[in-house]
Structure 1
Amino acid sequence: MYVMNLLQTNYHLEDLTEESMAYVNRLFGERYKQWKSDLHHHFRAFDDPQVALQEGCPKELEGREDSWAWLCTHFQAPDYVNKAQVNKGNRKKKTLLHHSGSGPFSYRMDARRRVRII
């Protein structure tokens, strides 16, 4: 909602349908996850977390060094590190990509099965 309120200054979002709002929220979520992933890759490029904290603040966070400090702490938290390791292991186990084109691969496989049944 915070992001939505900021966007209200440039975009007219009050009259969106429920379906459109769901799309916008999904899009926000995807973009945020990608942005956070990009920042995590930037953080990991440094050998030492203290060096990353002191010298690694990305240009997009200049003037908001407190946000970079929070992210550096977040990226080192045991819960985050464990979750990242588990997810990395799970991705290595995959034999098929879970996305193909604009829709999830599983949806395409379900559609293919339905066509064969009919």
Structure 2
Amino acid sequence: MEDPAAAATALEKAEVDACSIYVGNVDYGCLPEEVQEHFQDCGTVNRVTILTDFYGNPKGYAYVEFHEAEAVQNALQLNDTELHGRPLKVCPKRTNVPGMSYHRGRRPFQPYYPPYPAFGRSPRFYPYY
């Protein structure tokens, strides 16, 4: 049985993804307000998210959520336009499907041993006891 609250949440996520775009090659010094200003002619911008790494440094891409789905088609016309001297890559946001990838083709939580022994020794070689 599927939880009705989870189904409603998945439906809401799909609706938000239909109104969102992915923006690649964003300058690392670019602010969310500047990205919003770049896309404001396409339609009403609800939210701009610039993703960052563990240390708070920008990763170089962003997601822009619009109020209406028609604005996505207008925003796709801004592909290869420049912001801070860098051509932006604009694509529709894809919906994430959980469980579609396995790291290196392994089962989850399986330890990884390299296919070769390190320096010709067995992986259980411990010189210091």
Higher percent of residues as helix: 1
Shorter-chain TM-score tier = under 0.3
TM-score (norm 2): 0.26
Q: TM-score, normalised by structure 1?
A: 0.28
